[in-house]
Every structure is written in structure tokens, then in C-alpha cells.
Amino acid sequence: MEEDFQNAKVVYVTTYGEHGKKYSRPMTNYNKDPYSTIWFATFRATKKVEHLMKNPKIKITFPGSKEGDLYEISGTADFATEEEVRQKWKWWMLFWHPEFKGYSWFQQGGYLNERVIINVCPVEARIIKGKDFDFKTTY
């Protein structure tokens, strides 16, 4: 699992909205170790942050090396301190997002209070064979 996790440059992160409805979205994977704290950079004004503030349950899904196999890591999420955000955040993170067309691609300062790092504490991991994957998740 560790090698597959390291090779997964994009993973799917699932959060839970009202009534347990699943919401998944692709996230850039900056992590190497699926067994310790896993972190993701994002902005504060997002649905995933809103969901996690109400329900810290989270899943991370990524492909296995065998076609059709997926790994799923279940855990709980919390948010990094401002100091941790300052230390981990790189100036180029998230500038590709279409909502931020008006921002300078090289803007390095400012809007620190808009930045958030989601820390995931993994609790359980399992492999899902392609035929058993729940494709009813909302993307």
C-alpha cells in the first residue's frame, strides 16, 4: 500500500454532508506515508472544510497497482495551526484552481487566513476490489 500511495499524485477525499451524504473530490497528494498524519492544502471557504467542521469523518481513496483495485483509508480530520500552515504551504499551491483566475500566479503573500491544511489521522485501511467499489459517491 505504501508504494501505491506514494505513486498516487491525486487521491480522492470523501467528506460527509447532511444525512451522511458522501462528497468526493480529487486532491493533490503531497504525502509519502499512509500510516501517519496525511495532510491536504485547501482554502477555508470550501464545502470540504464546512463538512469536516461538522463531521470529522473522512476517507481517502487511491488506486492500487493491480488494475481495478483501490485502497481506502478511513480516519478523522482536524485542522493545522496557523504556524503549521505557514511552514507547509508553498507559494504555488492551489493556483491552478479556476475560481482564482483573478489572482496573480506569483502572489506569495496575503490571504494567509484563507489557507487551511486538513490533517487526517488514519484509523483503518482496506483494499477494495473494483467490483466492490461504491460508485454512488457524489463527485
Q: What confidence tens digit (pLDDT) does each residue in 31-77 have?
A: 999 999 999 999 898 999 999 999 999 999 999 999 889 999 999 99
* Residue 8 forms part of a structural domain: yes
Q: Position of cell 477525499?
A: 13
Q: What is the pLDDT of residue 26?
A: 95
The total number of structural domains in the chain stands at 1
* Residue 74 forms part of a structural domain: yes
* Residue 59 forms part of a structural domain: yes
CATH (domain of 89)? 2.30.110.10
* Residue 48 forms part of a structural domain: yes
* Residue 25 forms part of a structural domain: yes
* Residue 138 forms part of a structural domain: no
| Displacement of CA 80 from its chain's centroid (Å) | 13
Which residues are 40's β-sheet partners? 118
Give the structural domain span for 124: 2-132
Number of H helices, E strands in the chain: 3, 6
Q: What confidence tens digit (pLDDT) does each residue in 81-111 have?
A: 999 999 998 877 766 555 655 554 444 555 6
* Residue 139 forms part of a structural domain: no
Q: What is the pLDDT of residue 75?
A: 98
* Residue 137 forms part of a structural domain: no
DSSP character string of 73-114:
EEEEEEE--HHHHHHH--TTTTTT-GGGTTS-TT--SS-GGG
pTM of the predicted structure, to 2 decimals: 0.82
